[in-house]
Amino acid sequence: MVCTGYDLSNSVFSPDGRNFQVEYAVKAVENGGTAIGIRCKDGVVLALEKLVTSKLLKKDANKRIATVDRNIGVVHSGLLPDGRHFVSRARDEAASWRGTYKAPIPVSSLANRMGAYVQAYTLYSSVRPFGITAIIGGWDAETEVDVDGVVGSGPKMGSGGKTKGVKEGGPYLYMIEPSGSYWGYYGAATGKGRQAAKAELEKLKLNPKDDECITLEEGVKEAARIIYVAHEDSKDKDFELEMTWVSAVNGPTKGKHEEVPKELREEAERLAKKSLEADDEEEESKMEE
Amino acid sequence: MSLQHHHGQFHLTFPTNPLPLGSPYFTQSTKGYAHCEIHLLLNQLNPTIMNHLPQAWGRPRDDIYGSYNPAYLPHSRGGYQQSQHPTSHTQSPIVTGTSVLSIRYKDGVVIAADNLASYGSLARFTDVRRLKKFNRKAVVGFGGDVSDMQYLDRLLQSLNTEENYADDGGAGLMTAKNLHTYLSKVMYKRRSEFNPLWNAILVAGLDETDRPFAAYVDLLGTTFSAPTLATGFGAHLAQPILRRLVPDEKASEELTREAAVEAVRECMKVLFYRDARSMDRYSIAVIDKSGVDIREDEKLEEQSWAFADRIRGYGTQTV
């Protein structure tokens, strides 16, 4: 890069219209542990490759995937404190939404607000862009939700302007980059192993219109496997798998964002390791031929 | 405006422009009923005296009480307030719930409240749930103003959501005791601002060592605890019955769940007999180590009215 001063200050356009400071923030993200999100037929899975920097760190402590409101999860890759700040803001946004509308914030609205917030940090030279890419996954209630604080059943007619039997809500997944740009995804990956993870995600059947769209349980197993695959390139370092999920009200998490139960996670990890070993053997046998 | 007395009739003339707020309605002193009637008449005729803005209602007369201190009024009306409206606080409850009862037994607590929200003497809303589950260790029962109950319900929901962020696997779960402390601070702060939440509240559940816990807090921030508790009419009618069963802590520690539930159901019946703001549909919850068992559409059973057709008149009547 020709250093002519266009990369020294945030919010400065280079002659070809780029904000170099934002691009440097992306570099910080690319160093972080791999984080992925999978949108399944009946829920969303979030998974994180948490690099273990010391044997003195307590196992299963220092959780990195955060909950926003009750039904939304956020996983991020990059600078950890920036992620904390992001989550804190997301929680405030969710609370403020409830204050106004007396109902949980839809995942799409949260993504929109957080996108706007992150983008604001590319507008001024007095601030620096977020050094994270965040994946937001959640479940919007598909049943009619009571207004917060409701005390009775109210009128028997139901709320106005609604067509009977119409279902809304479902699983949602968004990824927000340091520039503030965000899109909805079937499967999203960020961090060091994102290329390998994306290649694996593309092999999965994730289109909701497709009858074969994978289920939440399958998603959990795939998520664990993909994190293990993405870790292959930095095999020498230890890591912990952190995994959360959110399902419909009648699913395993009852519409809440929760940690994947220990037994299920360990089973998924066992399968992941097994599939990696199988791959290795396959390669070895090919080599021998 | 002027007022003339002619042949026993009052004649009123009005200025062409409506009076500005706070200006004297009468230039000379009038007395007795005549004044009241004129005032009422004026209220109907002059929109600046009686309008839809509550801050203009019932303004004392300047000629009697001196000019009004406008400090509490907004800038636009000559005062010093930033807001468009003068500060107003809850003066009285509007839609209300009646008694809440609770009794501690050896393993847990039973709490109950009926499903009625009254609008004065009108039984306005008949499916109002006044017991709110907080978590598996705590239930809150609300009496008093229903809009304030809804506010508190939202406050507790947001508190619960924030508590959930800690993510310590349930180790730091808020107990009923924690919740009661929190609510008592909220209630006391609000009354200290002369803007109370018009409720009497019972918090029932378990404390940090999983022992039964129940305590009271009301709109003044007053708190107390006892083996049996009741708010409103319940304090007069249910407490004596519950105390006969559980006179002291020791009796409470020996009481079974069945006996506790039975006693509360009996008290709900007595309250329905004698409290005109009560109803025969009610909610009852039992909280113990296994969690919260809440039933929200119970009906009073085995009421006794058969004696009524033997009662004739008020003394001498025999048929």
Q: Does A202 contact B at CB distance below 8 Å?
A: no
Res B70: pLDDT:
76
ipTM of predicted assembly, 2 dp: 0.89
DSSP letter at A28 equals H
Closest CA to B108 of B176, B173, B157: B176
Q: How far apart are CA A128 and CA A121, in angstroms?
A: 6
The contacts of residue A257 (CB under 8 Å, 6+ apart) are A67, A68, A70, A71, A72, A73, A137, A138, A139, A244, A245, A246
Closest CA to B237 of B198, B286, B276, B285: B276
Cβ pair A66:B165 closer than 8 A? yes
Closest CA to B110 of B233, B281, B292: B292
* Residues B142 and B201: beta-carbon distance below 8 Å: yes
Q: Does B290 contact A at CB distance below 8 Å?
A: no
Give Cα B133 to chain centroid, integer Å.
Answer: 19
Instruction: Answer positive or negative: Cα dihedral of B261, B264, B270, B272.
Output: negative
Q: How far apart are CA B169 and CA B172, in angstroms?
A: 8
* Closest residue in chain A to residue B130, using alpha carbons only: A151
The mean pLDDT of chain A is 92
Res B51: pLDDT:
63
**A with B: how many residue pairs have Cβ under 8 Å apart?**
42
State yes or no: is B90 an active-site residue.
Answer: yes
pLDDT in tens, chain B (319 residues): 344 444 444 444 333 344 444 444 433 334 434 444 444 444 444 444 556 666 666 666 777 778 777 777 777 777 777 777 766 776 799 999 999 999 999 999 999 999 999 999 999 999 999 999 999 999 999 999 999 999 999 999 999 999 999 867 667 899 999 999 999 999 999 999 989 999 999 999 999 999 999 999 999 999 999 999 999 999 999 999 999 999 999 999 999 999 999 999 999 999 999 999 999 999 999 999 999 999 999 999 999 999 999 999 999 998 8
Q: Phi/psi of residue A106, each to 5°? A: -65, 150
Look at the pTM and tell me if it is higher than 0.90.
no
Cβ pair A149:B158 closer than 8 A? no
Q: How far apart are CA B249 and CA B134, in angstroms?
A: 26
Q: Classify burial at B308, counting beta carbons within 10 Å of its beta carbon; exposed 0-12, middle 13-18, buried 19 or more.
A: exposed
